């Protein structure tokens, strides 16, 4: 007879239960609940994320097939799809959002010394949003266009370790630039953004908060050159200028000088113009920072491929947000155990292993360090690998 904890239970051991209970109490998640507590709900949904379950019926069938192991997984109540669907519909999604924010703080401490390819002491963030398309008849509350619904996942990503530090879920109509109003700005940090966030009034708020930004300029930028610094044109740096905005509204919204750097990509021969309020970093470093903005695009593609956030188990706004926040919490749990157990395998490899061994009884460290993952890229050349 095998002894020891289930692999799933060893993953959940990294969940701060005291913090979870505080989140449940804050929003009265277990108020008048006689069975199937918020913890049971979270464990069932986490199981669905780790094992790639596609529907409520799928979750129910798998858990009932292993009903003798549910107690050892931490699930104390009988699970049915109707019970889980009702819990996702009525229990406040903010319980799991607050839990995910707590896990973010833990993960950031573990990854604060992670190398991201640029030698900088400052924290570097990438800000962007991704759209998840929905069916208009099933999700009318998320109206996007006349023929379809959608939600947007606005994310601020810490480039050290690819840890999301801020997430906001909105309907598809909310423009990305509005999220700049909700950010808690960090003095000295660098925010890397695409030109969709080019709003000089909001960017000036970053400058007044002693934060820095690196953003792509639009083609119709009206400005006047004040000074040109020497550049290495052989490396693709066409100009490094100090400029003053000349447009009526732009100069009113941003009265100070800006830095304008024009870069040509030597591989694609494309030219882009970058704006920044940082005048101390070398122009090459600023260009490298903007190139790292691609990391957040890879993060969005990765979570859509490996987490259950494109097909939803419920159609209400609360159910959708609950599923997304639990998916984020599971991602963070795996990232945390990777660091704590000093596992060399990528997050993708860990998730694949957990998906087929959740009911096994073997030490998690042994399972994840004895795997042969050397041929992982050969097996899935298009798979994005984080934490490699």
DSSP state string for 13-68: TTS-HHHHHHHHHHTTTTTT--SS-HHHHHHHHHHHHHTT--SHHHHHHHHHHTGG
In a domain, 86, yes or no: yes
Same domain for 265 and 338?
no
From 279, 375, 332, select the one nearest 46 (Cα to Cα).
332
Its pTM stands at: 0.90
What is the pLDDT confidence band of residue 261, given thresholds at 50, 70 and 90?
very high
User: Is 115 among the domain residues?
Assistant: no
Residues 6+ apart with CB under 8 A from 325: 93, 96, 97, 99, 100, 167
Per-residue confidence (pLDDT) for residue 303, from 0 to 100: 92
Residue 385: pLDDT above 80?
no
Q: Which of 110-119, 202-211, 262-271, 301-310 has the highest mean pLDDT?
A: 202-211
What gap in Å lies between CA 385 and CA 212, rounded to an integer?
29
Burial letters 282-300, b for 16+ CB under 10 A, else e: ebbebbbbbbbbebbeebb
pLDDT at 386: 54
203 and 274 in one domain? Answer: yes
Predicted local distance difference test score (pLDDT) of residue 101: 96
pLDDT tens sequence across 321-330: 999 999 999 9
Boundary of a domain, candidates 280, 301, 330: 280
Would 16 be classed as within a structural domain?
Answer: yes
Question: Final residue of a domain: which of 236, 257, 280?
Answer: 280
Q: Are residues 259 and 322 in the same domain?
A: no
Give a yes or no: residue 386 inside a domain: no
Distance CA 79, CA 102 (A): 27
Q: Which residues have C-beta within 8 Å of that of residue 35, sequence separation ≥ 6?
A: 77, 78
Is the pLDDT at 378 greater than 60? The verdict is: no
Listed residues 257, 280, 303: the one ending a domain: 280
- Mean per-residue pLDDT for 82-89? 96
Residue with the two structure tokens 């701060």: 16
DSSP label at residue 162: T
> Residue 168: is its pLDDT beyond 90?
yes
Question: Are 15 and 86 in the same domain?
Answer: yes
Residue 155 lies in a domain: no
How many domains would you assign to the chain? 2
Query: What per-residue string of b and e applies to 42-75 under the rule 16 or more CB within 10 Å gives b?
Result: bbbbbbbbbbebeebeebbebbeeeeebbeebbb
Q: What is the pLDDT of residue 373?
A: 44
- Would you say 350 and 332 are in contact if contact means Cβ atoms under 8 Å apart? no
Residue 233 structural domain? 195-280
CB 163 within 8 A of CB 104: yes
- Residues 370, 318, single domain; the answer is yes
pLDDT at 379 > cutoff 90: no
In a domain, 74, yes or no: yes
pLDDT of residue 366: 87
User: What is the spatial distance between Cα 308 and Cα 56, in angstroms, rounded to a whole number?
Assistant: 12
Whole-Å CA distances, 49 to 12, 99, 186, 356: 13, 16, 32, 12
Examine the pLDDT at 229 and tell me if it is beyond 70: yes
Inside any domain, residue 207: yes
Please indicate, yes or no, if residue 141 is contained in any of the structural domains: no
């Amino acid at each position: 007879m095998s002894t020891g904890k289930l692999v799933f239970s060893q993953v959940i051991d990294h969940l701060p239960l005291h913090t979870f209970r505080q989140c449940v109490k804050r929003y009265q998640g277990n108020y008048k609940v006689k069975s199937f507590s918020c913890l049971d709900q979270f464990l069932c949904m986490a199981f669905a994320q780790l094992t790639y379950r596609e529907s409520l019926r799928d979750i129910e069938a798998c858990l009932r097939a292993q009903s003798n192991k549910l107690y050892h997984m931490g699930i104390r109540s009988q699970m049915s799809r109707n019970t889980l669907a009702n819990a996702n519909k009525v229990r406040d999604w903010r319980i799991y959002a607050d839990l995910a924010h707590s896990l973010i703080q833990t993960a950031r401490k573990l990854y604060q010394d992670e190398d991201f390819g640029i030698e900088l002491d400052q924290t570097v963030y990438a800000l962007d949003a991704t759209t998840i398309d929905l069916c208009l008849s099933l999700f009318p509350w998320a109206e996007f266009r006349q023929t379809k619904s959608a939600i947007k996942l606005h994310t601020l990503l810490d480039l050290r370790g690819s840890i999301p530090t801020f997430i906001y879920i909105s309907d598809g109509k909310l423009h990305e630039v509005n999220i700049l109003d909700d950010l808690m700005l960090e003095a000295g940090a660098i925010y890397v953004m695409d030109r969709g966030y080019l709003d000089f009034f909001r960017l000036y708020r970053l400058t007044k908060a002693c934060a820095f930004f690196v953003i792509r300029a639009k083609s119709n930028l009206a400005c006047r050159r004040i000074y040109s610094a020497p550049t290495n044109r052989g490396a693709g740096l066409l100009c490094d200028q100090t400029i003053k905005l000349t447009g009526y509204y732009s100069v009113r919204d941003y009265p100070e000088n800006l830095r304008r750097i024009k870069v040509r990509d030597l591989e694609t021969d494309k030219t882009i113009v970058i704006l920044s309020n940082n005048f101390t970093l070398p122009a090459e470093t600023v260009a490298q920072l903007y190139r790292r903005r691609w990391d957040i695009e890879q993060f969005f593609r990765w979570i859509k491929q490996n987490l259950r956030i494109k097909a939803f188990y419920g159609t209400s706004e609360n159910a959708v947000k609950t599923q997304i926040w639990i998916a984020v919490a599971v991602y963070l749990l795996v990232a945390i155990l990777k660091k704590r157990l000093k596992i060399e395998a990528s997050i993708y490899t860990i998730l694949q292993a957990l998906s087929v061994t959740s009911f096994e009884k073997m030490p998690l460290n042994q399972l994840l360090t004895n795997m042969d993952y050397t041929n992982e890229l050969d097996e899935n050349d298009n798979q994005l690998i984080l934490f490699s």
